[in-house]
Amino acid sequence: MTVLWAERALTSEGWARDVRLEIGEDGRIAGLATGAAPEGQRLGVLLPAPANSHSHAFQRAMAGLTETRGDDPTDSFWTWRQLMYRFLDRITPDQVQAIAALVQMEMLEAGFATNVEFHYLHHRPDGTPYDRLSEMADRIAAAQAVSGIGLTLLPVLYQYGGCDRRALGPGQRRFGNDPDRFARLVEETGETLRHLPADARLGVAPHSLRAVAPDAIRAAADLVPGGPVHMHLAEQQAEVDEVEAAWGARPVTWALSELELDPRWCLIHCTQMTPDETMGLARTGAVAGLCPITEASLGDGIFDGVRWMEADGCISVGSDSNILISLHEELRLLDTSQRLRDHTRAALARPGISTGRRLFESVARGGAQAAGRGTGMIETGAWADLLALDTSHVDLAGIEGDTILDTFVFAGRDAMVADVWSAGRHMVHEGQHMHRVTITRAYAEAVADLRAQV
Ligand code: ZN
């Protein structure tokens, strides 16, 4: 049993003072009391640590390499994707494991308790499977053993190179599975996860409407009953055009009529929606998995957050390409993009609930839903996914209530994150992951050649 004591905590009942929190041996919050005398580890502000709901770990090693203009005068998402495919010609399982450990460490240091990994890199460079089908998934799980993060692993089904069911291109060979082999992959991945701590979860991810046939999307969702189902949806205008031409409806309109969307689902991006689609999708209870830093980096567009939140839609945030892993920056950019588009301020605030608090609580709860993880609030019985802010930081000194979260989101520094627990595992101490030196060294050695040759 671990005992924490915080001057202030954001619990499921709202802000509380002098909070004593017990973490049980099973990693869950075993007891919670307010107005308690100081005891155990003393903390400033204690918050629920959200899940990072969308990541492709290996892309972390491409950070900073994709900002030059290609031959194409209108450099775009699609030329970025070509560079990613060159990277994929060479990357090995050892490299994937080292990169994933770094990504998970950086997520924890940013304040995320969980890595929801949308994992589509399965096979050898020539497209043939490794001896064990789940070799690459096993490496993501092995990284967890070092980082201590909560892991929700989503094997990805990727069948085709486009809506016309063309074969996968050379850069996509490592992703491909037919539904039968994918079912075996999911089963093997589930076996691997049984060796991880009890908070690890298995889900599935049909990649997108471009890459998976409709019947296979439905079949994939049935492979993990009750588990999370994630899919990229409506990210780019070219994707909207392709789906509309092939299937006669825009992606979100098609998904609303053809899939049984419910709270198990997390639709990633949704930056290309009409107002009616936004309202319709919000009403399903599915999570909109937003990745504001990556969506800005790739020029995707702006999610209609104001309309979505007015409809009480669920949101989460993820670092997707992992070009920059920062919880407060994802939230700041999500809100800032609304301001720039609409020429407004604080449109997501509510009477008595500030913008920072509304964003933070929404992604904590929505991230838990997207991860299929019993967490997202500080309450007895939830996984002890906790984030402590350093109240000795000059910008946090002497402030109270929602202003704490507004300061973290809008004037935030990574240095404000002091301690992070994932299912009770205390991995970040005074801003640093406990294995930072070894994880960083292993990463640097693993990717030196890979980055130099791109
Ligand atoms: Zn993605």
Q: How far is the CA of 279 from the centre of ligand 1 (A)?
A: 23
* Same domain as 434, residue 301: no
235, 300 Cβ separation under 8 angstroms: yes
369, 376 Cβ separation under 8 angstroms: yes
* Same domain as 164, residue 68: yes
Can you tell me the distance from the alpha carbon of 19 to that of 10, in angstroms, rounded to the nearest whole number? 10
DSSP states along 357-375: HHHHHHHHHHHHHHHT-S-
Assign 252 to helix, strand or coil: helix
Residue 446 included in any domain: no
Nearest CA to 358 among 113, 55, 8, 14?
Answer: 14
Q: Where a domain ends, among 344, 371, 398?
A: 371
The residues, any chain, with a CB within 8 Å of residue 399's CB and separated by 6 or more, are 407
Can you tell me the distance from the alpha carbon of 255 to that of 180, in angstroms, rounded to the nearest whole number? 23
* Same domain as 62, residue 20: no
Q: How far is the CA of 42 from the centre of ligand 1 (A)?
A: 38
* Same domain as 320, residue 412: no
One of 54, 56, 119, 269 is an active-site residue; which one? 269
Phi-psi category of residue 304: left, alpha or beta, with phi > 0 → left and psi -120 to 50 → alpha = beta
Q: Where a domain ends, among 371, 390, 410?
A: 371
Q: How far is the CA of 323 from the centre of ligand 1 (A)?
A: 12
* Same domain as 422, residue 302: no
* Same domain as 270, residue 149: yes
119, 156 Cβ separation under 8 angstroms: yes
* Same domain as 399, residue 303: no
Residue 449 included in any domain: no
Rg from Cα positions in the chain? 21
One of 199, 300, 320, 385 is an active-site residue; which one? 320
In single-letter form, the type of residue at position 452 comes to A
Can you tell me the distance from the alpha carbon of 33 to that of 16, in angstroms, rounded to the nearest whole number? 9
Residue 33 included in any domain: yes
Q: How far is the CA of 208 from the centre of ligand 1 (A)?
A: 10
Q: How far is the CA of 232 from the centre of ligand 1 (A)?
A: 6
Residue 443 included in any domain: no
Which residue carries 């450990």 as its tokens? 101
pLDDT tens digits for the chain (454 residues)? 999 999 999 999 999 999 999 999 999 999 999 999 999 999 999 999 999 999 999 999 988 776 666 666 555 666 667 777 778 888 999 999 999 999 999 999 999 999 999 999 999 999 999 999 999 999 999 999 999 999 999 999 999 999 999 999 888 999 999 999 999 999 999 999 999 999 999 999 999 999 999 999 999 999 999 999 999 999 888 899 999 999 999 999 999 999 999 999 999 999 999 999 999 999 999 999 999 999 998 888 999 999 999 999 999 999 999 999 999 999 999 999 999 999 999 989 999 999 999 999 999 999 999 999 999 999 999 999 999 999 989 999 989 999 999 999 999 888 899 999 999 999 999 999 999 999 999 999 999 888 876 6
Q: How far is the CA of 295 from the centre of ligand 1 (A)?
A: 10
Question: C-alpha angle 313/315/318, rounded to 5°?
Answer: 160
Look at the chain and report how many structural domains it folds into.
Answer: 2
Can you tell me the distance from the alpha carbon of 107 to that of 105, in angstroms, rounded to the nearest whole number? 5
Cβ atoms < 10 Å from Cβ of 223: 20
* CATH code for position 300: 3.20.20.140
Q: What is the residue range of 153's domain?
A: 48-371
* Same domain as 301, residue 218: yes
* Same domain as 215, residue 147: yes
- For residue 300, the surrounding DSSP H or E stretch is none
Residue 213 included in any domain: yes
* Helix 251-258 × helix 237-247 angle, to 10°: 50
The residues, any chain, with a CB within 8 Å of residue 36's CB and separated by 6 or more, are 5, 18, 19, 20
Can you tell me the distance from the alpha carbon of 100 to that of 443, in angstroms, rounded to the nearest whole number? 9
Q: What is the CA 214 to chain-centroid distance, rounded? A: 25
Residue 350 included in any domain: yes
Q: How far is the CA of 294 from the centre of ligand 1 (A)?
A: 9
Residue 451 included in any domain: no
In single-letter form, the type of residue at position 112 comes to F
- pTM, rounded to two decimals: 0.96
* Same domain as 69, residue 188: yes
Q: How far is the CA of 346 from the centre of ligand 1 (A)?
A: 28
Can you tell me the distance from the alpha carbon of 344 to that of 224, in angstroms, rounded to the nearest whole number? 42
* CATH code for position 18: 2.30.40.10
Can you tell me the distance from the alpha carbon of 252 to that of 273, in angstroms, rounded to the nearest whole number? 7
* 123 is known as an active-site residue: no
Q: Where a domain ends, among 340, 371, 402?
A: 371
Residue 450 included in any domain: no
In single-letter form, the type of residue at position 126 comes to D
* Same domain as 348, residue 318: yes
Can you tell me the distance from the alpha carbon of 208 to that of 162, in angstroms, rounded to the nearest whole number? 10
* Same domain as 383, residue 281: no
Assign 94 to helix, strand or coil: helix
Cβ atoms < 10 Å from Cβ of 417: 27
* 230 is known as an active-site residue: no
Assign 430 to helix, strand or coil: coil
